[in-house]
Structure 1
């Protein structure tokens, strides 16, 4: 009975295999003339999911034909198992081929060489697998074995053409196919040797002649010009409105972003290259050599086609002790190696109010490893250069906009390895710069925005022939340019009683006009900023830079907030979540506003838990308001709190509710805003406060509806 059932099942399987062969042949010959229902299209899209199953079965079944077991009973069992395995492989191959033929009927697949060869290859594999099953017991064993080998070869060839359809031409063999990358710059074409390789590597796997997603193929220039279903791919000369650039710059999570998430993305250099190619007219025959020497596209081409061959410098000193380097770091000075496990060190200084020359002397224990010092905008004095001269390994020294006058530059000329020196923004003179003639390794000298005249700079270049003198921009043609915005020297946006606002501009002769009433500043009616501006209350300052012969800068806005009382401590009962931990509780009273960027390390973020902060004052203080700095960015799931509670009293055990407010619910079109939420209450003496903020629930119109929103807080003000 078991033998009869096995034979009947094999006969049924053999008949099914024959029927599927006929169906495949009809489906292939009929092509698009057969109307396919939607549910069969779904089956066709499962082709990539199931194609690996018959591959494995065919290889295993073919391999078993070459194996002969000594034990007769075991060998009979192996023969029966092999028959079933090959039958299953042949039927699953037929199903896979049917799925592939259905998939090929969809839009985006064209009957080019790759897909036609892939179709024929799939049918040939099916015929090979069917022959392998029907010839498995042939009396001459070489025939089924030959059929097995031929089927495996057909599998490889068919897979190669399938990969070409899915991923672009020569996808499988690309890693071992020689590429002619050594194209001389003078013989290179912008499209052929720069643009096309980018498209081949990052785009053509979905936009080729065999798989033209969205009706777009990128293999030929005429196809690029034709575009796809959504229109022209690019507008020559105008990358800003070109579809290609728009799709490249969409957020990665956007479904229209190209390349799609999970695919290799373009580098910044590759995006820039496409941008400048389109901006230059998107010509397909332009030689790189015909571009101007300082053209952006030519500079990118030079870097890509002829990478600079730079000999890595050799440092003949041992690395400093890691623990010593860590000890030399503080809030205002950072010392770090130029690369992981490298011996040379770099030092940067921050916050000029905390700087003195002692902070340089403290680095003398690593003077044999320190090759770069960046002291720009620090109050370095002429006498301090004797200390700097002790760092004999220095290669780069930045003294731009420091307090040196140039009288002691001779000290720096003794540095044996100094190759780059920046003196921009200092009042150095021609005579003082002549003392650098004896500097043995100097190659770069930055002197822009100094008191040197054009004639002085020419004289410096003439006397320091081995040095490149960087003088910055000179408007020789009288072209009217736009000024950049004024900058602020104050580091804190929150003050206690009053503060002196200091604004500056790097261009000499610039006037800064400002307003404090919220109106737009102009050069005629707005007051001119002098040395400083006294601020005693919450104030928003708007300012522009103006100078005759220049266009005024864009306005810049600074906001300053007064807090009458500074707490002794703030402790968080619930810790911030995710990456938004900033500096813990101290973030709320450090005087730093977070602005619009929630990733800058100045915001505390909560989503699943409430923000609960205990605030303690050194002695009782009379308060009538607490102002909370918050962020709203509905697109990034950041909403105002659902509820805020302010509690106050003598200690944590004796608190009473001073204020409870419910901020307005977020709306779909709310702009990104950093705002202050004012919580006012009757004047109350408090020594301790508890501030609670509950995250909102995302509304029904939001993509994350039903989930907890984020609450972001940057500062607390007590008045």
Structure 2
């Protein structure tokens, strides 16, 4: 009876195995051409859950085929157990393959690459496992044993292709595969050796040739440029509106955040590398060494790449005290090491209106470490060069567009290590430059936009035969070129009472034409910008640079906002959320506008809570309007607020509603825009105000429908 039942169940198992093989073959051949009910799709998504079960059974069953026991009774039991084990292995393999074929029908899996190899491998393993069961008792023992070895090999190959789909190409062998990070700095490419390794490690497990989630594959440059179903992955030169950067900055629990929650997240350094690569134009062939010396991407690369094989400068001085370096840096002068933990220092100056030579003398305690000084556009005088000559370790000195005349250049010839000197934009003469002939280490001299004639340059090059004389663009062929935009010298976009706007252009003879009514400026009819322009109210200025024989520059748009009353303090009743903390309440009255880059540290953001800010003035003031700077970027889930409330009164306990504003609803095609929300009301004496911005619920047409959008603010103006 037991023997009959055993044979009956084995026959039933064999028939079931044959039927399952047939069903799997139909699915394999039909692909996506047949409709599958939803409950089967659920079954398909269980493929990663059950695939380990048949692997264990197949390997154990294959092993038992090679074991021969001496006791006939025990060996007979082993043979019967092996039969049941191989049947279970073949049936579970069939179930796993069917689940995998159902899963491969979903969006995100392509019809080529590793997925095809994995599907063929799965079917081959199924056929091998089925054959192994049916041939288990074959008279010639070498046949099932050979089949067992072949099945295990196929199993390993199929698993390898599956791992590549889930975790990216070469996942199994990655630990023993040489990596690009060992490439010398001088030979490194920005994309190949900085960007691509990040994408491979953190992104390609879901965005590869076999598993392109959202229709996006990241393996090849052309695939990155093509983007996916959500559009372009990035906009070269504009990371603030690039989908890649937006998704990285979404809250971790947001379903659009990348990488998804639970996956290995990008470090801050990795996010910055992607950001600066896109900002620099997303060039796939650019060499790291070709980037400017102080480019952010190049500086990040120095910490990730192997130094160049070429000899680097050796500095035999000790590092300065970190606290002293930090103490000597301020808003108008920044001192920093050339690289992380390095002793040599660099000094940069900003805002010519705040400069005096005392700010250079204050750095004398660091004269043994300072190797670069960048004083371009500062009002440095001839007499000041004696102070600069005290910094004996200087290698680079930039004095372009300063007030020096060239009479005291002999002081700089005493610098023993000076290699690079820039005197562009100054009135130096060929005779005055002779004072630099005794400079022992001089290698390059920048003299573009000076008064030197062609004959003067020829004589200078003759006198400095071992020095690279950089004279800039000469346009000997008469080619018509496009001017760059005018340079704005003002740093603040918010002012009290009045403001004097200053603009200039580095090219001599250029006219700056402008408008204040929002119309595009014209190169012949629009007013010519003189030395300055006094602004007394909110104003948007558009300006272009023009010169005969040149194409006019792209228009430059500037927005200036007036605030009559500046509060003593701003207390945030709800703290900003996510990484959009900026400087807290101070951000709203610091006079700095955030622009369209919501991740630049000048915006505060809210999504789950309202923005509620309590504003205090030193005394009662008559306020008739409050202007709130905000931004909307619907692809990044940043919308205009549902409503804005302005409350005012004599103190926090006696506030009344002065104005409620409901902005126009956001639309699908709204561009990324930084804008103001104006709230006007009857003039009211206040010493305390409360401003409330309520986030909107995302509408049904947006992928994040039903969630609370983000609302951002950068500046409050009171008039």
1:38 to 35, 40, 62: 35
Structural mapping, 1:555-594, within 5 Å? 555-594=555-594
Counterparts in 2 of 1:589 and 1:543: CA distance versus 1, 3 Å: same
Deviations 1:247-284 (A, max 9, x none): 664755699xxxx98999998799645899xxxxxxxx
What stretches of structure 2 of length at least 5 have no aligned partner?
Answer: 181-199, 236-241, 247-257, 267-272, 288-306
In structure 1, C-alpha distance between the alignment counterparts of 2:26 and 2:696, rounded to whole Å? 61
TM-score by length of 2: 0.74
Structural mapping, 1:104-253, within 5 Å? 108-109=111-112, 118=121, 121-123=124-126, 125-127=128-130, 129-130=132-133, 148-159=148-159, 249=234, 252=243
> Aligned residue for 2:718?
718
For the 8 Å contact 1:28–1:101, the answer to whether it is kept is no
Q: Which has the higher contact order (CA 8 A, sep 6+)?
A: 2
In structure 1, C-alpha distance between the alignment counterparts of 2:574 and 2:156, rounded to whole Å? 59
1:468 is displaced (CA, Å) by 1.7
1:583 is displaced (CA, Å) by 1.9
State the secondary structure of the residue aligned to 1:359. Answer: helix
> Aligned residue for 2:361?
361
State the secondary structure of the residue aligned to 1:630. Answer: strand
> Aligned residue for 1:456?
456
CA RMSD of aligned residues (A): 5.2
1:475 is displaced (CA, Å) by 1.1
Structural mapping, 1:671-686, within 5 Å? 671-686=671-686
Deviations 1:504-540 (A, max 9, x none): 1111011112222333322332221111112222222
Counterparts in 2 of 1:83 and 1:374: CA distance versus 1, 3 Å: farther
In structure 2, C-alpha distance between the alignment counterparts of 1:542 and 1:326, rounded to whole Å? 39
For the 8 Å contact 1:108–1:214, the answer to whether it is kept is no
1:493 is displaced (CA, Å) by 1.6
In structure 2, C-alpha distance between the alignment counterparts of 1:593 and 1:173, rounded to whole Å? 49
State the secondary structure of the residue aligned to 1:635. Answer: helix
What stretches of structure 1 of length at least 5 have no aligned partner?
Answer: 181-199, 225-232, 277-306
For the 8 Å contact 1:108–1:215, the answer to whether it is kept is no
| 1:466 matched to 2:463 | no
In structure 2, C-alpha distance between the alignment counterparts of 1:414 and 1:74, rounded to whole Å? 98
> Aligned residue for 1:443?
443
In structure 1, C-alpha distance between the alignment counterparts of 2:532 and 2:146, rounded to whole Å? 92
1:161 is displaced (CA, Å) by 6.9
Counterparts in 2 of 1:467 and 1:313: CA distance versus 1, 3 Å: same
> Aligned residue for 1:295?
none
1:175 is displaced (CA, Å) by 8.3
Counterparts in 2 of 1:365 and 1:64: CA distance versus 1, 3 Å: farther
Counterparts in 2 of 1:328 and 1:125: CA distance versus 1, 3 Å: farther
1:243 is displaced (CA, Å) by 11
State the secondary structure of the residue aligned to 1:582. Answer: coil
> Aligned residue for 1:690?
690
For the 8 Å contact 1:329–1:335, the answer to whether it is kept is yes
In structure 2, C-alpha distance between the alignment counterparts of 1:169 and 1:686, rounded to whole Å? 65
Counterparts in 2 of 1:565 and 1:451: CA distance versus 1, 3 Å: same
> Aligned residue for 1:486?
486
1:674 is displaced (CA, Å) by 2.4
State the secondary structure of the residue aligned to 2:9. Answer: helix
> Aligned residue for 1:542?
542
In structure 2, C-alpha distance between the alignment counterparts of 1:461 and 1:72, rounded to whole Å? 101
1:99 is displaced (CA, Å) by 5.8
- Please identify, of 328-337 and 498-507, the stretch whose mean Cα deviation from structure 2 is larger: 328-337
| 1:646 matched to 2:646 | yes
> Aligned residue for 1:621?
621
> Aligned residue for 1:24?
21
For the 8 Å contact 1:632–1:639, the answer to whether it is kept is yes
In structure 1, C-alpha distance between the alignment counterparts of 2:131 and 2:346, rounded to whole Å? 67
For the 8 Å contact 2:117–2:158, the answer to whether it is kept is no
In structure 2, C-alpha distance between the alignment counterparts of 1:630 and 1:206, rounded to whole Å? 34
For the 8 Å contact 1:121–1:158, the answer to whether it is kept is no
> Aligned residue for 2:342?
342
> Aligned residue for 1:89?
89
State the secondary structure of the residue aligned to 1:699. Answer: coil
Counterparts in 2 of 1:124 and 1:695: CA distance versus 1, 3 Å: closer
> Aligned residue for 1:661?
661
In structure 2, C-alpha distance between the alignment counterparts of 1:330 and 1:311, rounded to whole Å? 34
In structure 2, C-alpha distance between the alignment counterparts of 1:216 and 1:627, rounded to whole Å? 41
Counterparts in 2 of 1:586 and 1:26: CA distance versus 1, 3 Å: closer
In structure 2, C-alpha distance between the alignment counterparts of 1:177 and 1:496, rounded to whole Å? 62
For the 8 Å contact 2:596–2:674, the answer to whether it is kept is yes
> Aligned residue for 1:395?
395
In structure 1, C-alpha distance between the alignment counterparts of 2:347 and 2:10, rounded to whole Å? 77
State the secondary structure of the residue aligned to 1:318. Answer: coil
State the secondary structure of the residue aligned to 1:411. Answer: helix
Aligned residues: 645
Counterparts in 2 of 1:332 and 1:53: CA distance versus 1, 3 Å: farther
Counterparts in 2 of 1:570 and 1:167: CA distance versus 1, 3 Å: closer
In structure 2, C-alpha distance between the alignment counterparts of 1:430 and 1:650, rounded to whole Å? 69
1:494 is displaced (CA, Å) by 1.7
TM-score by length of 1: 0.74
In structure 1, C-alpha distance between the alignment counterparts of 2:443 and 2:546, rounded to whole Å? 35
In structure 2, C-alpha distance between the alignment counterparts of 1:330 and 1:414, rounded to whole Å? 29
> Aligned residue for 1:700?
700
In structure 1, C-alpha distance between the alignment counterparts of 2:73 and 2:589, rounded to whole Å? 84
Counterparts in 2 of 1:590 and 1:243: CA distance versus 1, 3 Å: closer
> Aligned residue for 1:227?
none
| 1:475 matched to 2:494 | no
Counterparts in 2 of 1:597 and 1:418: CA distance versus 1, 3 Å: same
- Please identify, of 470-479 and 30-39, the stretch whose mean Cα deviation from structure 2 is larger: 30-39
> Aligned residue for 1:510?
510
- Please identify, of 162-171 and 36-45, the stretch whose mean Cα deviation from structure 2 is larger: 162-171
For the 8 Å contact 1:253–1:261, the answer to whether it is kept is no
